[in-house]
A and B are shown apart, each in its own frame.
Chain A
Amino acid sequence: MFASARIAFRHALHVALGSRGRVGGVLAVAALTMSFGCLAGPPARAQDLKVYSPIVEEGEFGIEARGNVAVDRNRDKAGAQNQRYELEYTPTDFWHTALVGELKKEAEGDLKYTATAWENIFQIFPQGKEWLDLGFYIEYESAKQRGSADALEWKLLAEKNFGLMTLTLNPIFEKEVGSNAEKSTEFKYAARLKLRLMPQLEPAIEAFGDIGEIGNLDPSDEQRHQLGPALLGKFHLGNASALRYELGYMFGLTRGGSPDGAFKWLIEIEHHF
């Protein structure tokens, strides 16, 4: 395994040093992320409710906290939580990277630190240059719980503006990797339709889902599908800093696989250098 990791890293470095331009740079850093995945240590996973835009802002440094908590009549679902804390930086006009700590709580358990992840977003085209804004997301998640598997997650990030409306779609592919890996590739999705009303208040409708392993989908009632309203906004704090927030409530659309509801929240302090 280490031999293949070394080869992957060497190849990534070669691509990184030899490539020119945005697309070459995007592919090179993606390759480096993959090789990091081969080298990273032990095992875990996540159930995150966030929609990602392909647009990144060069020079932005941020600290973000977000999470969601399940609301359900059933005690075996109610109170389940996922929290993520990120330290983010965008070194170029096409690459955003973040170090992520993830905590999870089962319905009747305690909140536990479950994974450390390296997240990367690559904006493929400058915003508005093409008909559709595109990017992709790669995350390697190193599990911190004994017996859990590491995970590699890819998302395609697509965004289209229609007047004051912005539609963002994220098809998501997640694969367990490493010695504890059991599942094949799972397919999930996240989507948002947002109204650009004013910077401080942007109403939106969001949807999230998890349909199971590709080729072996979960029964429809066991799939997770959630849909609900959200509010997003940004407040400037002066001195090139801003505070972003997101609040939402996602209604479960399936009886078995989704909680009745989930309250989600996000807060981020960002600063531009």
Chain B
Amino acid sequence: MSRRPAFRPLALLTLAAALWVSPAAAEDPSFELSIRDHRFVPETLEVPAGKRIRLVVSNADPTPEEFESYELNREKVIPGNGKGTVYIGPLDPGTYPFFGDFNQSTAKGRIVAK
């Protein structure tokens, strides 16, 4: 039985993708957001427009929360007592609301890009 390189094309694609790590990402401006008592702190976060942003979301509550924003096109679950990183932008100047999907009545906020 001959051995065929069954998945060579996809293996090469995957390897290329895995090695394609942008060093510029480490230089993205970083901002922090906390979740405490099912509220975002701060509720308004100012960020520079025209740049990709690294947003570190820490959840001080014991229950998970989902950082969600249609305007930012992001949906990320932050485990209870954990943290998660969300990359957003580059953003045009403006206001971008976000909310906590599991506690929508209290967990609300907005990002203002200037």
Residues of chain A with a CB closer than 8 A to B21's CB: 23, 125
Sort chain A's interface into a size bin.
35 or more
Across the interface, name the chain B residue whose C-beta is closest to A197. B70
Q: B18 near A23 (CB under 8 angstroms)?
A: yes
Q: From A27, A57, A130, A166, give the contact of B76 (CB < 8 A).
A: A57
- Is A105 located at the chain interface by the 8 A CB criterion? no
Chain B nearest CB, measured from A173 CB (Å): 5
Q: Which of B52-78 contact A (CB under 8 A)?
A: 52, 63-64, 66, 70, 73-77
Q: Which of B33-91 contact A (CB under 8 A)?
A: 52, 63-64, 66, 70, 73-77, 79, 84-89
Chain B nearest CB, measured from A127 CB (Å): 7
Residues of chain B with a CB closer than 8 A to A154's CB: 7, 10-11, 14
Residues of chain B with a CB closer than 8 A to A127's CB: 74, 76, 86-87
Q: Which of A152-184 contact B (CB under 8 A)?
A: 152, 154-156, 161, 164, 166, 171, 173, 175, 177, 184
- Is A59 located at the chain interface by the 8 A CB criterion? yes
Given that A59-B64, A156-B13, A196-B70 are known contacts, is A128 also in contact with B7, CB under 8 Å in the complex? no
Residues of chain B with a CB closer than 8 A to A273's CB: 64, 79
Main secondary structure of the interface of B (DSSP, over half): mixed
Q: A236 near B88 (CB under 8 angstroms)?
A: no
- Is A222 located at the chain interface by the 8 A CB criterion? no
Across the interface, name the chain A residue whose C-beta is closest to B88. A128
Q: B77 near A272 (CB under 8 angstroms)?
A: yes
Given that A136-B10, A173-B7, A236-B101 are known contacts, is A161 also in contact with B18, CB under 8 Å in the complex? no
Q: B18 near A58 (CB under 8 angstroms)?
A: no
Q: B7 near A93 (CB under 8 angstroms)?
A: no
Residues of chain A with a CB closer than 8 A to B101's CB: 236
- Is A48 located at the chain interface by the 8 A CB criterion? no
Residues of chain B with a CB closer than 8 A to A239's CB: 102
Residues of chain B with a CB closer than 8 A to A26's CB: 18
Across the interface, name the chain A residue whose C-beta is closest to B77. A57
Residues of chain B with a CB closer than 8 A to A58's CB: 77, 79, 84
Residues of chain B with a CB closer than 8 A to A75's CB: none
A155 to B63, CA, bound (A): 34
Q: B7 near A175 (CB under 8 angstroms)?
A: yes
- Is A134 located at the chain interface by the 8 A CB criterion? yes
Across the interface, name the chain A residue whose C-beta is closest to B63. A240
Other than A93-B84, A156-B10, A177-B6, give 13 A-B pairs with Cβ distance below 8 A.
A23-B19, A26-B18, A59-B79, A60-B77, A124-B18, A128-B52, A130-B25, A152-B7, A154-B7, A166-B73, A173-B7, A184-B4, A214-B9
Interface residues of chain B, those whose CB is within 8 Å of chain A, are 4, 6-7, 9-11, 13-14, 17-22, 25, 52, 63-64, 66, 70, 73-77, 79, 84-89, 101-102, 104
Top 4 closest pairs, chain A to chain B, by CB: A128-B87, A175-B6, A272-B64, A129-B87
